[in-house]
């Protein structure tokens, strides 16, 4: 079978394949994406070429709407909707989220070109006295002692706050960790709560939690795994306007908050446990698989079914789009690659679906988006222009 497929691939590349042989090859390709069968080609270049051609061929063949699969790397579809063109990406293995979750290495990825590499583990820690620590430059080990806690950098992507016995400090000491565009970081708070920060985000928190509650302030996006403590609720406060804020209250649970200032909605997605979301005298109780959406302009808040995989895709190393408007797609790309995005022409009716690894150079991401035919790009330095 492997030798036969290799022959069909060669015929596919040189244009001599018959319709019956092409159907056999397409059937094998779709079956392979479901079973992870071995690719018979000897070269990466040939594999990529065949995959991209098959991708576009399958797009042309599939006319009926189908539900988009949630696993990165599956062949999806291309269709027209009444109000917009919905373009679904089928991602070739060369482009999809690496199955072994390798750590991003932007310097190695982009060193041979002027390309823009992906984001990496970097953040700034602001101490209680205003001093700032650039975490990617700091050595592993104890960075500082803040109140009754020692701040430890455990590796290139993690901070850990530990109690320091015998200090007797009663004053509450606050730190802030901030990720720039093109950065991400993880911090374990003194109570054992783990927080992952996406690019362009910040978290202000006390170094210990001596009172009756555990309260932190978030801007941007973060995923929380809150340590259970029935006697001391955990509260996340997000500023929505100059005089209003949204509060998420939990005892111990896993959830994601997307609260970027430039987004029209603040979204709290629950994966495990339960949370209560409060805004302007409205209280919503979430169960796993649901999300609370705060509409910032109207001030209204509602609950809907959540795509939990999409909500935490950033944490797991890939972009996952579910018929997202191109502007939303490009805001995510802008934050992760630290690029400026401008628009030339009307792309407001274009939407994208599918998955892409966050560990590829930006040129590869843009190339896959262009293959859909929905949009085109012009890159000048760190500025990307989006065109129909």
Largest pairwise CA distance in the chain: 81
Residue 225 half-sphere exposure, CB side, CA atoms within 13 Å? 8
pLDDT along the chain (388 residues), means of 10: 71 75 73 51 50 48 38 36 43 36 43 78 97 96 92 95 74 94 98 98 96 96 96 93 85 95 96 95 94 94 95 95 91 98 92 88 91 88 95
Neighbour count for residue 314 (Cβ, 10 Å) = 23
Residue from 335, 366, 337 nearest 352 by CA = 366
**The pLDDT value given to residue 290:** 97
User: Beta strands 245-250 and 234-239: pairing type?
Assistant: antiparallel
Q: Which residues contact residue 6 at a Cβ distance below 8 angstroms, ignoring those fewer than 6 apart? A: 40, 41
How deeply is 348 buried, as exposed, middle or buried, from its count of CB atoms within 10 A (0-12, 13-18, 19+)?
Answer: exposed
Ordered structural domains, the chain, with CATH: 1-53 (no CATH), 62-101+317-388 (3.55.50.30), 120-311 (2.60.120.1440)
Question: Alpha helix locations (H) across 221-325?
Answer: 308-311
pTM of the predicted structure, to 2 decimals: 0.77
The pLDDT value given to residue 175: 98
């Amino acid at each position: 079978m492997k030798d036969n497929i290799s022959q069909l691939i060669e015929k596919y590349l040189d244009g001599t394949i018959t319709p019956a042989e092409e159907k056999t090859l397409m059937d094998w390709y779709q079956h392979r994406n479901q079973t992870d069968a071995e690719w018979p080609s000897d070269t990466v270049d040939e594999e990529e070429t065949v995959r991209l051609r098959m991708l576009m061929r399958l797009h042309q063949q599939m006319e009926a709407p189908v539900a988009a699969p949630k696993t990165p790397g599956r062949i999806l579809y291309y269709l027209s909707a009444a109000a917009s063109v919905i373009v679904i990406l089928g991602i070739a293995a060369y482009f999809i989220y690496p199955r072994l979750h390798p750590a991003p290495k932007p310097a190695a990825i982009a060193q041979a070109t002027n390309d823009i590499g992906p984001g990496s583990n970097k953040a700034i820690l602001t101490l209680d006295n205003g001093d700032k620590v650039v975490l990617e430059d700091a050595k592993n080990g104890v960075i500082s002692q803040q109140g009754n806690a020692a701040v430890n950098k455990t590796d290139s992507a993690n901070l850990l706050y530990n109690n320091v016995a015998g200090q007797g400090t009663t004053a509450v000491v606050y730190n802030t960790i901030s990720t720039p565009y093109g950065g991400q970081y993880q911090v374990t708070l003194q109570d054992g709560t783990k927080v992952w920060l996406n690019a362009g985000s910040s978290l202000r928190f006390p170094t210990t939690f001596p009172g009756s509650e555990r309260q932190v302030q978030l801007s941007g996006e973060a995923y929380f795994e809150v340590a259970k403590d029935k006697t001391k609720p955990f509260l996340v406060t997000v500023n929505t306007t100059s005089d209003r804020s949204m509060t998420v209250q939990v005892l111990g649970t896993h959830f994601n908050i997307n609260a970027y200032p430039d987004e029209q909605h603040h979204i709290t997605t629950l994966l495990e446990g339960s949370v209560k979301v409060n805004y302007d005298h409205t209280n919503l109780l979430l169960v796993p698989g649901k999300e609370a959406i705060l509409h910032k302009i109207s001030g209204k808040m509602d609950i809907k079914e959540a795509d939990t995989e999409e909500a935490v895709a950033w944490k797991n190393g890939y972009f996952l789009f579910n018929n997202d408007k191109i502007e939303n797609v490009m805001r995510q790309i802008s934050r992760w690659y630290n690029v400026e995005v401008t628009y030339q022409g009307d792309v407001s009716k274009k939407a994208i679906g599918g998955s892409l690894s966050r560990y590829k150079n930006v040129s590869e991401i843009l190339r896959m988006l262009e293959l859909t035919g929905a949009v085109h790009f012009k890159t000048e330095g760190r500025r990307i222009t989006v065109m129909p």
